Every structure is written in C-alpha cells, then in structure tokens.
Structure 1
Amino acid sequence: MSRLLALLVCLAAPAWAAPPLQETVFWAAEVKEGNLPPIAERLPEQPLIVDLEAKGRSLGTQGGTLRTFGTRSKDVRLMSAYGYARLVGYAADYTLAPDILRDVEVTENRRFTLHLRPGHRWSDGAAFTSEDFRYWWENVAQDPDITPSGPPDFMYVDGVLGTVTFPDVHTVVFEWANANPNFLPQLAQASPPFIYRPAHYLRQFHQRFTGPEALHEAITKARVKSWAALHNKRDNMGKFDNPKQPTLQPWINATASGRSRQLFVRNPYYHRIDARGVQLPYIDVVEMTIATGGLIAAKANAGETDLQARGLDFPDISILKKGEADGGNYRTLLWENGAASQIAIFPNLNFADPVWQEVMRDVRFRRALSHGIDRHMINRALYFGLAKEAGMTALSTSPLHDPQNASAYAEYAPAKANALLDEMGLTQRSQAGIRKLPDGRPMEFVIETAGERQEVENALAIVTDTWRELGIKLVMRPLDRNILRNRVYAGLSMASVWFGWDNGLPTAETSPMYLAPTHQEFFAWPMWGQYYQSKGELGERPQGTAPNHLLALADRWNRATDTATRTAIWREMLQIHAEQVYGIGILSDAPQPVVVSKLLRNVPEQGVWAYDPGAHFGVHRIDEFYFEEPFQQVVQ
C-alpha cells in the first residue's frame, strides 16, 4: 500500500449504516414547544457514528452535570481543548482521523481537499458550509485591519503563500506548490488554527457587510476603538469566552465571561452519535468553577469535582489517595504525563544583558548547570523516587527515545561542573565563594517561575544548595504566568522554569519544528523564534551553528517523503538538544493524578495527560464519558 493510499485509508470516515435516531432528553421540551427542530433535522446527513464497543467502552446514558475546576478565569478556553471537536483529530493512539470533516483527500501531501458533512450546523442552527472557510480566508486572514501581519505562518511553505478555493458548498481545497506535512497535524492541535468562522454571526461586526451606523453603535456599546477591534473581541473561537459566538464543540458556553462559575450546556447540533442513534455528548452540562490552584486537591478530596487533573500535581497523590480510602466518592487514576520534563530550567539565550548572554551561550555553562543538579535527591524528596531522572528528551515510551540522550550531562557531578566553569575562565570568586562574571559582578543566576507549582519551588530550593557548590547563587523570582511569559519573550528574563516540550512522545511523523528556533514559546530562544515567526521583522536572527542546523534539519524533515529519513532527522535533532542542553530537564515521567467520580464511566484507567498533542482530556473524548446514574449525580 502506498503512503498516500495508507493516509487516505486512515482519514476515511467509517461507512456505517446510520441507526434510528433518538431525541435528546435535555432538548425534548424545546422540541415539543417548537423552539428547536427534532433530532433528525439537527444532525448532519452523515453524522459521525462512534463505535464505542470497538474502543472497549460502553454505551452511555444521557444526563448529569460534570463538575470541574479551573485555576484562572482564562481557563474557560480549556473547554475548547477538552471538547476537542476538530476538523481532523487524534485518536487515543495518536492516529489522525476526520471528525468535523466527512473525509479528507490528500494529494502529494500538498493538496488537501476537505469534504464537509452536508447538513452540519453551528450550535445556533445555521448551516456550516464552505462559506465559513471563505469568510476566514478572505475577511479575517487577509483583511489588513483584522490581521495586520497578513495570513498566518502555516499558510506559507518555503515562503510561498498557499491557496484556498471553494469548489462547492461542502468542499474546500487548501493547496501549496510544495509538500506541507504539518497541515493536518496543526488542525488537530489543542489550540488549532481555526480556518473557519461562523460567517453569519461575524458579518455583523465587519465593515464589508454592515453599515457604518450600525457598526458605530456596536463599537460604542462594546467600548472599543474600531470595527476591527470589535470584530476581534467577538471572534474568540479559541478563548471560548463569547457565549454569543456559535460553536461546533460538544458544549456551548452559557455564561457571561468573568464569572467564577461557568456553565456549558450540550450543543443541540453536535455532529457525533453512538451506535444506537443517541446524540453525544452524553453529559448535559459542564460546570467549571475557578479556584485557587493550592485548594484544588483539598476540594477534590472533599468530593467537589467529578473530573479533575488541572491544578493537581504528583505531591497531591497522597492526600487524594487518603481521601479515597476514607470513603471519598472518587477514584484517583495515575496517568502518564506527556511533557518531556516535569521540571525544566531554560537559560534565556536572548537575555538582554550582553555579559550574561555570552556566558549562557557557552555550552559549557549549560552543561555545568546540569551536572550541578542532584536529580536523585529531588526525585526522592518530591516524587518518592517514582519519576525518571533525566535530561529533556523524548520519553521512554516514544519510539525515538535514546537512553544516551536522557543521561547526557544529567549525572550529579560537582567536580565536572566546576571544571567546566574553570575552563570558561570563571575562576574569580567573591569572599562568599560566589564566582564572578567577566565584568566582576557576582554570578547571581535569577530563575523566574510562574509561582503555581509548589514542587517547582521545592526543587529549586534543592538546586540552590547544590549550585552553591559550583559558586553560583540561585535567586528564585515567582511571577504571574503572563508577566513571566512577556518578560521571557522580551529578553528581560535571565532564566525561567517550566515544563519541558509539550510533546514528549513524538514519532517520526510528528513535526519536529518545536525542536528548532521557530516559536517564541520555547523559553531558551524566544527572540530567535520571533524572528522565524515574523519572517525577520521581529526578534533576532538565530546565531550559532547548532540552532541554524536545527532549522535546516526541520526544513529537511518537511521535504522528506519516507519514514526512514524522517526518523534519522528526528534522532539527529534530539541528539543536538542533548549535547547543547538548551533546556535543562530535571525529571520526567512522574504520574499525573486524575480524580474521577465513582459514578463517571468511560474514563480510561490508563491515559496520557498532555496538552499538545492530545488536548488533555480531549484525545480521550470527554463527550463519550457518562454518569451511570445521572439523576443521583445531580442530586449529590
């Protein structure tokens, strides 16, 4: 079977006979009153029929309210990730398949013909057609007022803009001159590029479709400065914080933004059904309450959530297990964590201080820092020895895992670390034993944190002691998450601590772009990433042989057509990261606690908790979860 044919088979929608449809209980009264069409008129002509039995899951019961917690008001956007309705999406084994789309035709990996489901509707009942893609392409992506920077990066291949055409109402064609293997995986991301918009809703905020008087009134009411600002404020597909914007997700935001308690009700036009003709999602309502991160474990212990992983970390397992044993109405599952490292330190190679910048760009300094971390002590103290002590690389369950990459410069070896620093010429010390920079300042290495995870601060406290043996004074500075990110992006942060790569489980077919300086989100080289993302208008051109070689390798991967070549490229890029220690991984593979109500069904006992790919609960299809006794659950 050719690679193209195999891909087409993978992306073909299941050809099942549609079962008789059953009216959704939650909306039955609205249907009876004539406020909502019956289920047969709300579903696409070819709905996505979910084979739950093939997944080892049971057919569910409709009803109930799923309670969960967020840690910030912005966490409302997680419902777009958890719901995980995507044009194409990942299955639990990370293979791609059509979801919102009926199917996809792929030609030479450069022409993608997207076939929509006839009869598919937005959550307000309006038809979902190729016009919604046209609106995004012509009136959002290419409108200079709405998108001053022009079409997004993913629409360019080798610097050439792709084309989008609309042969008919149910067909959209994206085409490039050269292969674009990243296109479909991008559509399946936790935060995908939404290449469609509810045109019927957004036209009222666009100057091409609405008169100046009506626009002026709407601008004044919204307290914004222009029609473009109004349009962008109302167009929040990813943020999911505008209840009036129609959606294709399984649940609709039903609460005004800024509330500490957000309600999401089932989408009456959702496109997925089970083998009995029952419309998904099974659960009627999701209730997300915003709580301080440090309180979520206690609230879970008290039985105040039905499904929770957000805000829970490994140190919470003991209190959760104790509450479970003491009669708590929940189970504590331990899922695999998909991040490449639980804790990773990122020296900022774009730090604005030229003296520190030169020191941090010397690989001997980064290797010395890594050798100065007692991972075994941190593992025992914080993870009861259950995590894996390693640098940042592909995890052990990835086919690209190499033990030598994991162990590179990860040994606690103060003598080696001191020798490396001496070799750099950093031999002068203060009376307190702190090494001096070339300009005479003491080496006070400031690491900024988001201040959200106690285990991070505890780990850095241990690192403070061991780095002192190297003559380096670690200064920890907790900040708000958004402030931290902005400081890193601007080159104002010397170093930061975060998780490792989101995707620690890559395969040869996974895009390796996040290993090259292509995004500012990798905290070791934010300005190099900005340079790539802005096509040279912002940031700084990458410097050094290794960063530019990573860019060249990523480009080679994009052009490769066989798995063997892509595997070799991945292995070389991972080896470069291991040798260069751009991100200093400390520990990985620590289990992620997931609290699940004893009444909740179809939640996998073993799963992967990862943001990208996987969208946290999204890849496990939360719309298939159900309560065994939904009425009892609501009463409780």
Structure 2
Amino acid sequence: MRGPRPRMAVVTAAALLLALAAGGCRKAPPEVPMLLPRVEAGELPPLAERLPEQPLVVSTADPGAIQGGSLRLLDREARAWSTAQLRMAGLFRYDQVGVEVLPDIALGYQLAADARSLTLSLRPGHRWSDGQPFTADDLIFWWEAYAGNPAFEPDPFWRFETGEMQVTRLDDSRVRFDFPEPYPMVVDRWGRAAFSAEGPEGPMLPAHYLRRFHADYDPGAEALAEAEGFEDWQALFEDRIAPTRFDPERPSLFAWLPERRDGDRLRFTRNPYFHQVDAAGRQLPYIDAVEVRVHEDGDAFRAALSNGEADFEAYFIDTPDFDALEAGAAQGRYALRVATDLHGSMFTIHPNRNASDPVLRELFAQRDFRWALSLGIDREAIVREVFGGRARPYPALPLPEQPFFDPSWATLHIEHDPATAGRLLDGLGLDRRDAEGRRLRADGQALVMRLEMLASDPLNKPICAAVERDWRGLGITTECGATASPARFLEGQAAGQLLSPVWPTGRTTRFALRSDPRAFGFTDPAQQWWAPEWTRWLASEGREGSQPPAEIQDLAQRFEAWRALPAESPDYVRLGRAYFAWFAEALPMIGTVGLQEHPVLVGTRLRGVPAEGLYWGSDTNFYTPYLPPTWWLED
C-alpha cells in the first residue's frame, strides 16, 4: 500500500539550486536576508547544506512573496499552546477538511498489505535547528526513552492487548513500526501535526540534547532534577519535551524557534534548517519572526484585536464574535474570512440507553421516540436565534466531505415536523396527559427530559432553551442542567447520573473517527455518552458493564472491521458507509445545528493566507492546513 499521494514536489536541494541556476538564473536563489550575515561570517552553512537532500517544495507558495518581517500574534494562555501549533511541523499534515494525509517532515510511508507494519521514510540530510542530523535514531529514542519506557505513563494509543509494538531502525532515514494487529489508524493520527511532531505525542525527540535529562542515558539526571526543583528525573524529562516549553536551547524542527521571553511578550525566530522551500528554491518560512503578546484577560485580548495588534487570529474567536469583529475591522486593520467549523452538531443530545431510570431506559430504546424528539426540534429557529444564520441544521454525524458520507444523511430525520413527532409519541403509549398538558409516562409520572450540559459553553444555554420551548409544544418537560466543569461532568457520566448528556459531536474527520471515536465507537466508556455501560462491557470483553443487545454487538464488530482497513482501501468507503448509515437511521444521538461559520481574522498587511475552502478545528491542528510558513508581509 502506497503512502499519501504527494501534492508537493520533492527534489534534492543541490539539484534544485543548480536547476534554477541553469534555467536562466545568473545565480542560485539568494540566502534568506536575515541569515545572510551569519552565512558570510561562517556561523551558518550555505542554504544548500542546510536543507535536506529532498526538501519539501511547497508549490502553492506565492512566487512574489517578500522575505522578512515579524508576524504579530495574540495569545490567551501563558503557555502559548495556540502559538505552538502555528509554529508546528509534523511528519504529515491534513488538507483543510481532514480527509487526505500529506507529507511534511516525512518523505512518505509504506503500509503493509495486512496493515500490521508501517515503514516511515525521513528526508535524508534533514537537520535539527542546531545543525545536528535528524535521523531514525531520534524516533528510536522517542520510543525507548519515553513512549515505550515503563518509567512513564503509557499512551493507550501505542498499547495493545494482543501484544507489543516494535520499533526498528532500518537505516538513518527509515524506521519500521510493527503492530500486533492491523493498525492503519496510525496514519490517521499522524495526519494531525500535534501527534506527529517532536514532543510526547509525536514519534521523535532530539536524542542528542535530551539524553542528559534521562537517567537511562545519564546517571546525573536525578541530581539535575533535584537541583532544578523537580520531584524526580521523569518530571524533569517531561518538562523538557513539552511542546509549549519556551526553551531556546532545545533543538527543534518547527518553523520558528523560541528566542526570548519578556513578561507577557514572546519572540520566535526562523529555523535556519527548516525543511521547506518554495518553487524558486527560497527557504521557508518567508516571515523572519513571530512576536506574541499574551492577554489572559478576555477584555484586554479583545481590545488588542480592535486596536490592530494582530496579523492573524482564529483560535480564540468564535461564531458569536462575528458582529463585533466586523464592526471593528477598519479600526483593527484586518479583514474577516469565513471558515467552516470542523464540529458536526454543536449541541448533541445523547439519550442514555443505560439510564438508571427504567422507564426512560425503555423509551430511549425505541427508535420512534428518538425520531420524535428529533422531529420536534426547530433547528432553523436555532440557526437564526443563536447563530445569527451562521450555521445549518445538522445531525450527529461525521462531516459531509468524508468519502463514505451519503448526502441524504445530512437532512435525515432533522426536519421540523411536530405533527409527525406527536403521532410517534402517541403510538408509543404516551398519549395520556395531565391537567397541564404534560405527557404521562407508563408509571403515571410526567415525562421529563433532563439535559445535562457544560455551563462553560455559552451556546449551550440558549440552544437548550430553544429545545425546551419546542419539546414543550409536544407535551414534554425539559430541564436544562448545567455542570460547572468538564471533570464533574465526566464524574457524573462515570457514576451513571446523566440521563441525557449534551456534548458536541467532534472528532468528525479521518483523524479520530477510528482512533478516538468517542460516541461513534465503543472504545471509551467515559466518552460514549449514549451507551456507556454497553461500551464498558465491550471494551472489557464482558468483565464489566452490561451486555448490549445483539444489534449493538454486531455494530461494534463492524466498527472493528472498518478501523482495520487502510483509508486507501475501496472497502474503507463501503464499510464506513454501512457503519454510519446505522447512526443516520437509528439516531442514537440527536444532533441540532453545526458546521457553523468560524471567523478567521487576517491583517491587512498579511499575505499568503488561503481565501477559500477554509475549515477550522483541532482535528487538522487548526493552523497547519493554512501553511503558515508560506505567509508573508506586504510591508
């Protein structure tokens, strides 16, 4: 099985520069102006010696781009995680919509026919930011020192009940990963740069720098940890590999490197060994530096935006901010572009099939009841009232761009049809009402739907109020319960206290539909909102939880068959369509609205940011599909 189809050409660095010179240029592409003094002083090798033998040629980069300048960013967090993701480079990256995996640091990969082995190819001659070689040894170090080392908490993604994963160095530029079972999901995961970049999640670390902090390689690591105030050497090591650590000494493969920090101001400068070039052979990134100002206070952050202090922002703004951002565009010297949020339904109701209330549990098991609840919601009103028209009715399903998606699913059972909803409820024996018009359950109590949601999401309250209004028209009482923190919400889920939890339908792209499916799969009871006890039984092979009906057991088997297939397999589409057709028709989760418009703020001096076909979300690592190394400043 071949790796991802390359969209960016790969040629040797020397051949690229020679070809450009031979093609009519009097000389090879010039050095980056910022780096030229260091090259002339002998502090840095010339460009051809700093690039990999086969650099990544970004053909979409603007040939008229100007090199230089400083990009201005704002951040809300002292750890600057948003900025880390902007600077990040991984083995691979996703396209805008999270379907295709494209090469970045990696030259490519080869997945075995049985998907039990993957050979990863690196770019020969690639170097860390300090000029030291980046080789297969850095991937082996990640596995032996950290991810596969019993001294650290294991990442469940790399653990198998059927055996152990093996990581083998084939040569300087090739590493083979052998799995005890078919595991094509590793490619899905690596498409998100945060999971294939240097750091605890990604499969490489700068071994030559980090050995000194690890007791298996340096006996002085424990004393160093104590001297720096860490509990043990493991804590020291994890601190040193954190992608958000502001550490000018740690070698990196990112586009921009930490240079200095002064209070709430951070500066990052270009990586002289970055592996990307444009079609003319000029090294990326075009922009020399990234200047970040941290405003943890929301009002201060918004004031800075309105004062024109940011060249780009999308991470800390959302759909409700559109009106204010549009009003301040002239003063803030920016324009707004519109991306589609990568969430499906933002407010998804999960009638708990394992609810502690036996009457509700029986009702939730009836497809007609779930259909009635869905048909009773006026989603167009929610779009107008809550989102100002900047969203659309959408079920609890993956994004429509996924290759297995049937277009008919996008509108199935989500039209507003209260008359049909009422007939379905009557047919379930819910035709009796009390003096207040509330439908009565089989035990004579009023039918009450209690929706538990997070108080921290400002959209939850108005959407729940709209659902309460609509269901009241059906004779159903709705209670909107708000939980203060995600931790308490998860505790309530684990204790079986949530009758109908509300949670967004995220993980709707290739990145996580198989590796972290949440309510679409049966791997994690803590995040399987509509069938937690069945999931507990399936995940523990019957040792815990409650046994699901045959229909759900068959569904779980189909999921396992689908997740064992390479995404390039024709059966990937066939089995994926069959699997999600069940969710579209059975409606175990009731979606409301989603695919909302997400604002993307682009300063008037910033160029190179894509203008169309934009998406925004964690599945694609937010910034990565926007190719920040190709951005440039007009002034």
Do the structures match in fold with TM over 0.5?
yes
Per the alignment, do residues 200 and 512 of structure 1 end up closer, same or farther by CA in structure 2, a change over 3 Å counting? closer
Partners of 1:256 and 1:580 in 2: CA distance: 54
Partners of 1:293 and 1:521 in 2: CA distance: 31
Residue 599 of structure 2 aligns to a residue whose secondary structure is: strand
Q: Which moved more, 1:16-25 or 1:519-528?
A: 519-528
The residue identity in structure 1 corresponding to 2:90 is R
Post-superposition shift, 1:214?
A: 4.4
Matches within 5 A, 1:275-290: 275-283=279-287, 284-287=289-292, 289-290=294-295
Is the contact between residue 154 and residue 183 of structure 1 (CA under 8 Å) also seen in structure 2? no
The size of the alignment, in residue pairs, is 610
Partners of 1:137 and 1:33 in 2: CA distance: 39
Question: Paired residue for 1:171?
Answer: 174
Matches within 5 A, 1:392-431: 392-417=396-421
Is the contact between residue 82 and residue 315 of structure 2 (CA under 8 Å) also seen in structure 1? no
Question: Paired residue for 1:589?
Answer: 595
Per the alignment, do residues 128 and 348 of structure 1 end up closer, same or farther by CA in structure 2, a change over 3 Å counting? farther
Question: Paired residue for 1:633?
Answer: none
Question: Paired residue for 1:543?
Answer: 548
**Aligned pair partner of 2:394 in 390, 393, 409:** 390
Post-superposition shift, 1:531?
A: 5.0
Residue 386 of structure 2 aligns to a residue whose secondary structure is: helix
Partners of 1:377 and 1:297 in 2: CA distance: 29
Matches within 5 A, 1:307-318: 307-318=312-323
The residue identity in structure 2 corresponding to 1:551 is A
Partners of 2:494 and 2:614 in 1: CA distance: 29
Q: Which whole-Å deviations, capped at 9, do the CAs of 1:121-168 have from their partners, x for residues lacking one?
A: 223333211111111222222221213x4x643464x83433221122
Structure 2: where are the runs of 5+ without partners? 18-27, 196-200
Post-superposition shift, 1:39?
A: 4.0
Partners of 1:352 and 1:216 in 2: CA distance: 53
Per the alignment, do residues 456 and 575 of structure 1 end up closer, same or farther by CA in structure 2, a change over 3 Å counting? same
Q: Which whole-Å deviations, capped at 9, do the CAs of 1:73-130 have from their partners, x for residues lacking one?
A: 45x3334433441212234574333211233334424432222223322233332111
Residue 194 of structure 2 aligns to a residue whose secondary structure is: coil
Question: Paired residue for 2:10?
Answer: 14
Partners of 1:537 and 1:240 in 2: CA distance: 42
Per the alignment, do residues 165 and 217 of structure 1 end up closer, same or farther by CA in structure 2, a change over 3 Å counting? closer
Question: Paired residue for 1:634?
Answer: none
**Aligned pair partner of 1:68 in 70, 73, 83:** 73
Partners of 1:317 and 1:8 in 2: CA distance: 36
Post-superposition shift, 1:30?
A: 5.1
The residue identity in structure 1 corresponding to 2:626 is H
The residue identity in structure 2 corresponding to 1:102 is L
Question: Paired residue for 1:200?
Answer: 208
Matches within 5 A, 1:428-447: 443=448, 445-447=450-452
Post-superposition shift, 1:626?
A: 0.9
TM-score with structure 2 setting the length:
0.82
The residue identity in structure 2 corresponding to 1:164 is V
Q: Which whole-Å deviations, capped at 9, do the CAs of 1:311-357 have from their partners, x for residues lacking one?
A: 32333323333333x56521111123332224333445566777766
Partners of 2:275 and 2:538 in 1: CA distance: 35
Post-superposition shift, 1:379?
A: 1.5
Per the alignment, do residues 227 and 291 of structure 1 end up closer, same or farther by CA in structure 2, a change over 3 Å counting? closer
Per the alignment, do residues 552 and 422 of structure 1 end up closer, same or farther by CA in structure 2, a change over 3 Å counting? same
Q: Which whole-Å deviations, capped at 9, do the CAs of 1:558-610 have from their partners, x for residues lacking one?
A: 44577543222222222211233333221133322211011111111113323
Question: Paired residue for 1:222?
Answer: 229
Post-superposition shift, 1:497?
A: 3.9
Q: Which moved more, 1:296-305 or 1:180-189?
A: 296-305
1:628 aligns with 2:634: yes
Partners of 2:145 and 2:361 in 1: CA distance: 43
Partners of 2:128 and 2:257 in 1: CA distance: 10
Partners of 2:367 and 2:430 in 1: CA distance: 14
Partners of 2:65 and 2:122 in 1: CA distance: 27
The residue identity in structure 1 corresponding to 2:611 is E
Partners of 1:420 and 1:243 in 2: CA distance: 64
The residue identity in structure 2 corresponding to 1:274 is D
Residue 584 of structure 1 aligns to a residue whose secondary structure is: coil
Give the superposed CA RMSD: 3.9
Matches within 5 A, 1:105-184: 105-108=110-113, 109-147=115-153, 149=154, 152-154=156-158, 156=160, 159-176=162-179, 179-184=182-187
Is the contact between residue 394 and residue 400 of structure 1 (CA under 8 Å) also seen in structure 2? no
Question: Paired residue for 2:22?
Answer: none
1:210 aligns with 2:218: yes
Is the contact between residue 519 and residue 526 of structure 1 (CA under 8 Å) also seen in structure 2? no
Per the alignment, do residues 91 and 442 of structure 1 end up closer, same or farther by CA in structure 2, a change over 3 Å counting? closer
Post-superposition shift, 1:498?
A: 4.2
Q: Which whole-Å deviations, capped at 9, do the CAs of 1:489-529 have from their partners, x for residues lacking one?
A: 6655555444323335x69x985862322346845258569
Question: Paired residue for 1:463?
Answer: 467
Is the contact between residue 339 and residue 598 of structure 2 (CA under 8 Å) also seen in structure 1? yes
Q: Which whole-Å deviations, capped at 9, do the CAs of 1:368-407 have from their partners, x for residues lacking one?
A: 4323321121122233445322322244444444354233
Question: Paired residue for 1:632?
Answer: none
**Aligned pair partner of 1:246 in 247, 251, 272:** 251
Residue 165 of structure 1 aligns to a residue whose secondary structure is: strand
TM-score with structure 1 setting the length:
0.82
Per the alignment, do residues 118 and 423 of structure 1 end up closer, same or farther by CA in structure 2, a change over 3 Å counting? same
Is the contact between residue 348 and residue 503 of structure 2 (CA under 8 Å) also seen in structure 1? yes
Partners of 1:592 and 1:412 in 2: CA distance: 25
Is the contact between residue 201 and residue 246 of structure 1 (CA under 8 Å) also seen in structure 2? yes
Question: Paired residue for 1:24?
Answer: 32
Question: Paired residue for 2:82?
Answer: 78
Is the contact between residue 392 and residue 584 of structure 1 (CA under 8 Å) also seen in structure 2? yes
Post-superposition shift, 1:24?
A: 3.1
Per the alignment, do residues 368 and 306 of structure 1 end up closer, same or farther by CA in structure 2, a change over 3 Å counting? same
Is the contact between residue 117 and residue 176 of structure 2 (CA under 8 Å) also seen in structure 1? yes
Per the alignment, do residues 403 and 279 of structure 1 end up closer, same or farther by CA in structure 2, a change over 3 Å counting? closer
Residue 328 of structure 2 aligns to a residue whose secondary structure is: helix
Partners of 2:11 and 2:482 in 1: CA distance: 56
Is the contact between residue 52 and residue 125 of structure 2 (CA under 8 Å) also seen in structure 1? yes
The residue identity in structure 1 corresponding to 2:222 is L
1:598 aligns with 2:604: yes
Q: Which moved more, 1:527-536 or 1:467-476?
A: 527-536
Per the alignment, do residues 546 and 311 of structure 1 end up closer, same or farther by CA in structure 2, a change over 3 Å counting? farther
Post-superposition shift, 1:10?
A: 4.0
Q: Which whole-Å deviations, capped at 9, do the CAs of 1:41-73 have from their partners, x for residues lacking one?
A: 4332332222236xxx34422223323334444
Per the alignment, do residues 21 and 486 of structure 1 end up closer, same or farther by CA in structure 2, a change over 3 Å counting? farther
Partners of 1:293 and 1:66 in 2: CA distance: 21
Per the alignment, do residues 408 and 545 of structure 1 end up closer, same or farther by CA in structure 2, a change over 3 Å counting? farther
Partners of 2:433 and 2:300 in 1: CA distance: 44
Q: Which moved more, 1:77-86 or 1:521-530?
A: 521-530
Is the contact between residue 344 and residue 586 of structure 1 (CA under 8 Å) also seen in structure 2? yes
Question: Paired residue for 1:449?
Answer: 454
The residue identity in structure 2 corresponding to 1:593 is P
Q: Which moved more, 1:397-406 or 1:99-108?
A: 397-406
Is the contact between residue 333 and residue 596 of structure 1 (CA under 8 Å) also seen in structure 2? yes
The residue identity in structure 2 corresponding to 1:305 is A
Post-superposition shift, 1:627?
A: 0.7
Per the alignment, do residues 181 and 10 of structure 1 end up closer, same or farther by CA in structure 2, a change over 3 Å counting? farther
1:614 aligns with 2:617: no
Partners of 1:441 and 1:219 in 2: CA distance: 62
Partners of 1:482 and 1:184 in 2: CA distance: 30
Residue 585 of structure 1 aligns to a residue whose secondary structure is: coil
The residue identity in structure 2 corresponding to 1:406 is A
The residue identity in structure 2 corresponding to 1:589 is L
Structure 1: where are the runs of 5+ without partners? 630-636
Q: Which moved more, 1:121-130 or 1:165-174?
A: 121-130
Residue 150 of structure 2 aligns to a residue whose secondary structure is: coil
Q: Which whole-Å deviations, capped at 9, do the CAs of 1:416-461 have from their partners, x for residues lacking one?
A: 54555566667787876666776969836142225244x4432222
